[in-house]
Chain A
Amino acid sequence: MELNVLAHHEQALKFRASRNEVLSSNIANADTPNYKARDLDFGAALKSARGEGISMKKTSDLHMQAWKTARHGAELKYRMPTQPSLDGNTVEADVEQAAFAENALQYRASLAFLDGQIRSLRFAIKGGD
């Protein structure tokens, strides 16, 4: 039962790694015409992990999911630019960099929690020292 805590942070790590991928795609395409910046919503992922997400009722196995881009329960969404540019690109370097830094920090936080859990488990197994 203690190991469930590891599972939570494992899921969080997966989500953060996924978001890292999306945000780095945004920064990579900062100069590509007509590229639309995208992001993942942590709130949506959390809701879906807790079983509170909204989904279509399936009455047959052949029914498809409403969206195909779901990543760990979070949908890929387009970012609304505050200052749209003439070439149709919606990447704003400062916004993306802030989001990237925040995401990397959250990833490190999850890693630290996992590390602490593993440490205390080991402490319990060894019986101290």
Chain B
Amino acid sequence: MSLFNVIDVAGSAMNAQSVRLNVTASNLANAGSVSGDQDKVYRSRQPVFETFEKTLASQDGVTGVRLTDIVESSAPLNMRYQPEHPEADENGNVYVSNVNTVEEMVNMISASRSYKNNVEIINTTKDLLMQTLSLGR
């Protein structure tokens, strides 16, 4: 029954989008974190999505989403001269994480809209299935 596949497909998308929302949350939470050591500073993380063919589905064109990786951004860190800071290195510099707050807010809105879209898909499909079940009563 192909309508059941729709629920799987939309479910996989909801899963991927909720991971994206989680990553955005941790980026925003760590947006202001600083360190004197460049290797210890929090770097912005981004999820990578990929299309995958559902193995159970017999037909082409039924594709869900899966998360393949979460990559750390290679954008340059923000350096600040602050010799009084307890974390400052020997030159008096501290490094601030490279999270772009504006980008993350956009990511958050985009992820929540996509999530809602998929919820609507599941609701509509559920309605269709229920109506099909009550056919001829």
Binding site for B on A (CB under 8 A): 13-14, 17-18, 20-22, 24-25, 27-33, 35, 38, 40, 68-69, 71, 76, 93, 97, 100-101, 104, 107-108, 111, 114-115, 118-119
Contacts and interface: CB of A to CB of B under 8 A. Distances in A.
B9 interface: yes
A54 to B, nearest CB: 20
Contacts of A24: 6, 9-10, 121, 125
A13 B118 CA distance: 22
A20 B125 contact: yes
9 contacts: A14-B2, A21-B9, A30-B13, A32-B49, A35-B51, A35-B63, A71-B61, A104-B128, A111-B131
B60 interface: yes
B114 interface: yes
A35 B3 CA distance: 22
Contact of A21 (B49, B51, B62): B62
A107 B129 CA distance: 10
Interface residues of B, number: 37
Given A17-B2, A33-B49, A118-B136, A25 B128 contact: no
B118 A25 contact: no
Nearest to B125: A20
Interface in B18-74: 20, 49-51, 57, 59-65
B61 A32 contact: no
A69 B60 contact: yes
A29 B117 contact: no
B101 interface: no
B93 interface: no
Given A20-B2, A21-B59, A31-B110, 19 more contacts: A17-B1, A21-B2, A24-B121, A25-B9, A25-B62, A25-B64, A28-B9, A28-B65, A29-B13, A30-B117, A33-B49, A35-B63, A38-B61, A69-B59, A69-B60, A71-B59, A76-B60, A108-B131, A118-B136
